[in-house]
Amino acid sequence: MPSLCRDCLRHAAQPFGRCPACGSRRTVTHPDLFHLTVAHVDCDAFYASVEKRDRPDLLTKPVIVGGGKRGVVAAACYLARTRGVRSAMPMFKALAACPDAVVIKPEMAKYVREGRRIRALMEALTPLVQPLSIDEAVLDLTGTEALHGAPPAVVLARFARQVEKEVGVTVSIGLAANRLMAKLAAERDKPRGFAVIGAGEAAGWLAPQPVSLLPGIGPAMAKRLQAAGFSTLGQLAALSPREAMQRFGEDGPSLAARARGEDERRVIPDRETKSISAETTFEADIAARAALEAPLWRMCEKLARRLKEKDLAAAGVTLKLKTAAFATRTRAARLPQPTRLPDVLFAAAQPLLAREADGTAFRLIGIGAQPLVQAAEADRGDLADPEAPKRAARWAAVEALRARFGDDAVVKGRGLKMGRRE
Amino acid sequence: MKFTVDRAVLLKALAHVQSVVERRNTIPILANVLIDAKTEGNLTLTATDMEIAVVEEVAGVTVARGGRTTAPAATLYEIVRKLPEGARVELDHGGGDGPLTLRAGKFNTTLAVLPVDDFPSMTEGRLPTKFAIKAGVLRDLIDRTRFAISTEETRYYLNGIYLHAAEAEGAPVLRAVATDGHRLARVEEPLPEGAKGMPGVIVPRKTVNEVRKLAEETQDEIEIRLSDTKIRFGLGTVALTSKLIDGTFPEYERVIPRGNDKKLTVPKKDFEEAVARVAAISSERSRPVKLSISRNNLLLTANSPEQGQAQEELDADTVAYESSPLEIGFQARYLTDITAQIGDKVEFLFADGAAPTIVKDEAKPEALYVLMPMRV
């Protein structure tokens, strides 16, 4: 069974626990170690790590990156996490759990810049790099062994060392036979991890895990599955394609396949993002148009934020709906001029929704931006809409308030959930 | 129902009404024309698409038996058009579901009819504003603005001409405005009597085009009546009633620049032809033509990634410009759409290379165009 030392990169066909060359205990041993080629790379507590790098005085302190006292946690360092702080947690809760935490306002431009540096290092390893977010990507290193003179596992360990040295943050790597298992492996060993899941062991490893482990199964879906008697992935995995289709519609067979650890998705190097979207699955199906507009508005706000993060703008919108019977409907409209404003996205999606809201019950609504254009083109106003730049400024002010005081600091009435207070 | 009428008379009437009928229609009755012959010798033809209704009174008809029916407008028009000149046409309908028979000389045909009761009637309601306008003036208002009407669905309130009463230098005017966001056209005429206090209305593009066709044939006064939801154009024997666009037209006055002081004048013909020539290098319509302007000199350039560059210079023989040098780009078609409405000399008023530009006909100050530049 082959082994690899992640510190000095010594590797051998025979297993070793402690590295025979440098004595490090950071070694990895797996029968398929030198055959697996798909890697998922995820930076550890990225925003917090970048801040700690820039302020060494914070190294030993719990650090939270996020809004002010009433905001939410964007990232928490591992020290803060040991005290119970989690991403997306309201700041007051986080501070209750960890009162001595240092709270830092996010500086997105800096994280984007550092994320790009890491991506450049990845692209030196293989052309097949598919970025998933600012600090996360999947790589296919198939066929690169001759080029690098070493198997992918060694190349990846070297890459992790290089990121630590040159960028000053740590990454966790999952190595597996496909994208799904690579992602799950990366999550298994964090931070500064290197986990390997072989093709043969995937199904066995997944079987006892809860269904919510699988990416794509959110809280609403997990509840639905549990209600249908599926609490572990093993139970889902046992379904034949036919049974899966009957129970869960057209997405059923692929759901069961993923529960077995199968994933056919290829790594597509898209350096350019082609579309950005936001969607949400409802706790209970919704048919009424007015009731669908509230989550649509929230998704438009989310999409606007994502566009801002990526420094892009929407030249058109795509409305996505999934019926209670799991049929997907998408409707697209071109925008008169590119935008990053949620109310413009909403105004374009509203008539599309009106045409679809014919009494059908829907389980999911989403809004996508496509095609994408450069942010500089957005909301410049034209002869029929000279106010657009002012509205853009107003929205920027709202976003600034939210960054300081939390997402609930300023809320549009139409975004409020009906019938209950949040 | 049975009547005879000269082919030419019927053809002209059918031409008027059939053009509002939608070609691709899912509601069969809307493809039909309502034919109403009264015993006393009147014939009216009506066609509608539910947004617009055109009613034509036809004279010179010999009615043998009064009655009403509906028949396919396009087919009827095609048949009548192909009948020999000078033919006398007889239309005969026995009532009920039976077919409509058309006879002319040795030709005869039958057409399927649909029940008259299914034919939608458009109620005009009260149309309190009433004024008359010369056909030539209305044609002018339409021609100089309709090219700027937007086709974009999301901003439906731009899909027509905004017609309203305003004041220009102290005098009341009737104004027509259209914009698609990239260009804006504003034309004004002295306010006709009766139009004072009229509501601002947005006349839909299709209505504009239909009225323009009808106005082509007459030099008489056209009678306009309107409320805030409907407009009716009376042109002699034809009346066109249309719904209006229910929306708010943008406050266009705010986008018309006031301080543009860099003035360029150039003969329309030279300019238009030069733009067409340099723009021909690229098949991509949205590519800009760049105007590089210096003292009494205008250089037009266009680029195409495949072909390279085309340029043409207009010099002091034709161009007048006294301000500081300037570079600005516009979509070629937007320039020629405007110059097509201009007589001899085009006057440009620039602020800078990124700001909206005013274009005018030097001899006709009543028409004003605003054009957004493109980045070049």
Distance from CA of B248 to the nearest CA of A (A): 11
Give the domain CATH number at A238. 1.10.150.20
Say if residue B178 is in the same domain as residue B270: no
Q: Which two tokens stand for residue B70?
A: 């509906």
pLDDT average, residue stretch B74-85: 95
Distance from CA of A296 to the nearest CA of B (A): 17
The single residue listed with the structure tokens 């450049």 is: A120
* Within-domain flag for B124: no
pLDDT at A252: 86
Per the prediction, chain B carries an average pLDDT of 93
* Within-domain flag for B54: yes
* Within-domain flag for A299: yes
Host domain of residue B217? 129-254
Among B153, B154, B372, select the one facing A383 at the smallest CB separation. B372
Say if residue A182 is in the same domain as residue A53: yes
Distance from CA of A399 to the nearest CA of B (A): 26
| B347 close to B365: Cβ distance less than 8 angstroms | no
Distance from CA of B181 to the nearest CA of A (A): 4
Contact yes or no for B179 and A384 at CB 8 A? yes
Chain B CB contacts of A386 below 8 Å: 250, 254-255
Say if residue B133 is in the same domain as residue B114: no
pLDDT at A404: 76
- What percent of chain B has pLDDT above 70? 99
Distance from CA of B372 to the nearest CA of A (A): 7
Report the domain count for chain B.
3
> Which residue, B72, B96, B118, sits at the end of a domain?
B118
Q: Is B20 on the interface with A (CB under 8 A)?
A: no
Distance from CA of B24 to the nearest CA of A (A): 20
The single residue listed with the structure tokens 């030249």 is: A315
Contact yes or no for A384 and B155 at CB 8 A? yes
Contact yes or no for B181 and A347 at CB 8 A? no
Give the residue from A328, A324, A321 showing the smallest Cα distance to A292.
A321
pLDDT tens for residues B96-140? 889 999 999 999 999 999 999 999 988 888 999 999 999 999 999
Contact yes or no for B154 and A385 at CB 8 A? no
Return residues 300-339 of A near B (CB < 8 Å): 333-337
Among A333, A382, A383, select the one facing B154 at the smallest CB separation. A333
Say if residue B99 is in the same domain as residue B203: no
Report the domain count for chain A.
3
Say if residue A215 is in the same domain as residue A195: no
Contact yes or no for B255 and A383 at CB 8 A? yes
Is there a binding annotation on residue A42?
yes
Q: Is the pLDDT of residue B25 over 80?
A: no
Return residues 357-416 of A near B (CB < 8 Å): 382-386
* Within-domain flag for A385: yes
Among B153, B154, B183, select the one facing A383 at the smallest CB separation. B183
Say if residue B248 is in the same domain as residue B136: yes
The residues, any chain, with a CB within 8 Å of residue B337's CB and separated by 6 or more, are B147, B148, B183
Give the active site residues of A.
136
Say if residue B80 is in the same domain as residue B179: no
Q: Is A353 on the interface with B (CB under 8 A)?
A: no
Is there a binding annotation on residue A135?
yes
Which residue from A minimizes the CA distance to B251? A384
* Within-domain flag for B166: yes
Say if residue A159 is in the same domain as residue A80: yes
| A292 close to A367: Cβ distance less than 8 angstroms | no
pLDDT at A269: 82
Say if residue B137 is in the same domain as residue B220: yes
CA dihedral A71, A73, A75, A78 (to 10 degrees): 140
pLDDT tens for residues A7-57? 999 999 999 999 999 999 999 999 999 999 999 999 999 999 999 999 989
Q: Is the pLDDT of residue B32 over 60?
A: yes
Say if residue A37 is in the same domain as residue A111: yes
pLDDT at B314: 95
Count how many Cα atoms sit within 13 Å of the Cα of residue A370 in the half-sphere of its side chain. 16
pLDDT at A271: 57
Per the prediction, chain A carries an average pLDDT of 89
Contact yes or no for B255 and A336 at CB 8 A? no
Which residue from B minimizes the CA distance to A337? B181
Angle at B5 between CA B1 and CA B10, to 5 degrees: 100
* Within-domain flag for A114: yes
Residue-by-residue pLDDT tens, chain A, 422 positions: 999 999 999 999 999 999 999 999 999 999 999 999 999 999 999 999 999 999 989 989 999 998 755 578 989 999 999 999 998 888 888 999 999 999 998 888 889 889 989 999 999 999 899 988 889 999 999 999 998 999 999 999 999 999 999 999 999 999 999 999 999 999 998 899 999 999 999 999 999 999 999 988 888 889 989 998 999 999 999 999 888 888 888 788 889 999 999 998 888 886 566 789 999 989 889 999 999 999 999 999 999 988 988 888 999 999 999 998 888 999 999 898 899 999 999 999 999 999 999 999 999 999 999 888 888 888 988 899 888 889 889 988 888 888 777 777 777 777 665 544 43
Among B153, B154, B372, select the one facing A382 at the smallest CB separation. B372
Q: A191: cis peptide before it, omega within 30°?
A: yes
Q: Is B325 on the interface with A (CB under 8 A)?
A: no
Cα–Cα dist A403/A164, whole Å: 29
Say if residue B160 is in the same domain as residue B51: no
Host domain of residue A221? 210-260
Contact yes or no for B252 and A383 at CB 8 A? yes
Among B155, B356, B370, select the one facing A336 at the smallest CB separation. B155
Say if residue B65 is in the same domain as residue B6: yes
Chain B CB contacts of A333 below 8 Å: 153-154
Say if residue A69 is in the same domain as residue A101: yes
Distance from CA of A334 to the nearest CA of B (A): 8
Say if residue B147 is in the same domain as residue B113: no
Q: Is A351 on the interface with B (CB under 8 A)?
A: yes
Say if residue A280 is in the same domain as residue A387: yes
Give the residue from B281, B282, B278 showing the smallest Cα distance to B290.
B278
pLDDT average, residue stretch B153-164: 93
Cα–Cα dist A40/B268, whole Å: 63
| B135 close to B218: Cβ distance less than 8 angstroms | yes
* Within-domain flag for B342: yes
Say if residue A171 is in the same domain as residue A222: no
* Within-domain flag for A3: no
Say if residue B56 is in the same domain as residue B101: yes
Say if residue A49 is in the same domain as residue A164: yes
pLDDT at A419: 46
Beta carbons within 10 angstroms of residue B156's beta carbon:
15
Say if residue A42 is in the same domain as residue A176: yes
Contact yes or no for A386 and B150 at CB 8 A? no
Say if residue B159 is in the same domain as residue B65: no
CA distances for B171 relative to B86, B166, B167, B174, B175, angstroms: 51, 8, 5, 10, 12
Q: What is the DSSP string of A319-387?
A: EEEEETT--EEEEEEEEEEEE--HHHHHHHHHHHHHHH-SS--EEEEEEEE-SEEEGGGTT--BTTBTT
Angle at B312 between CA B311 and CA B313, to 5 degrees: 130
pLDDT tens for residues A300-313? 999 998 898 888 89
Chain B CB contacts of A319 below 8 Å: none
Terminal alpha carbon distance of chain B: 66
Q: Is B355 on the interface with A (CB under 8 A)?
A: no
Q: Is the pLDDT of residue B23 over 70?
A: yes
> Which residue, B95, B118, B141, sits at the end of a domain?
B118
Confidence of residue B173 (pLDDT cuts 50, 70, 90): very high
* Within-domain flag for B321: yes
Q: Is B370 on the interface with A (CB under 8 A)?
A: yes
Give the domain CATH number at B72. 3.10.150.10
Which residue from B minimizes the CA distance to A381? B181
> Which residue, B206, B223, B254, sits at the end of a domain?
B254
Among A333, A334, A382, select the one facing B181 at the smallest CB separation. A382
- How many beta-carbon pairs under 8 angstroms link A with B? 44
Contact yes or no for A347 and B154 at CB 8 A? yes
Say if residue B6 is in the same domain as residue B72: yes
pLDDT tens for residues B269-286? 999 999 999 999 877 767
- Distance from chain centroid for Cα A121: 20
pLDDT at A421: 40
SS3 of chain B: the string is CEEEEEHHHHHHHHHHHHCCCCCCCCCHHHHEEEEEECCCCCEEEEEECCCEEEEEEECCEEEEECEEEEEEHHHHHHHHHHCCCCCEEEEEECCCCCCEEEEECCEEEEECCECHHHCCCCCCCCCCEEEEEEHHHHHHHHHCCHHHCCCCCCCHHHCEEEEEEEEECCEEEEEEEEECCCEEEEEEEECCCCCCCCCCEEEEHHHHHHHHHHHHCCCCEEEEEECCCEEEEEECCEEEEEECCCCCCCCHHHHCCCCCCEEEEEEHHHHHHHHHHHHCCCCCCCCEEEEEEECCEEEEEEEECCCEEEEEEECCCCCEECCCCEEEEEEHHHHHHHHCCCCCEEEEEECCCCCCEEEEECCEEEEEEEECCECC
Give the domain CATH number at A160. 3.30.70.270
Chain B CB contacts of A384 below 8 Å: 150, 155, 158, 179-181, 184, 250, 252, 255
Confidence of residue B260 (pLDDT cuts 50, 70, 90): very high
B251, B255, B368, B369, best to mutate vs chain A, most A CBs in 10 Å: B255
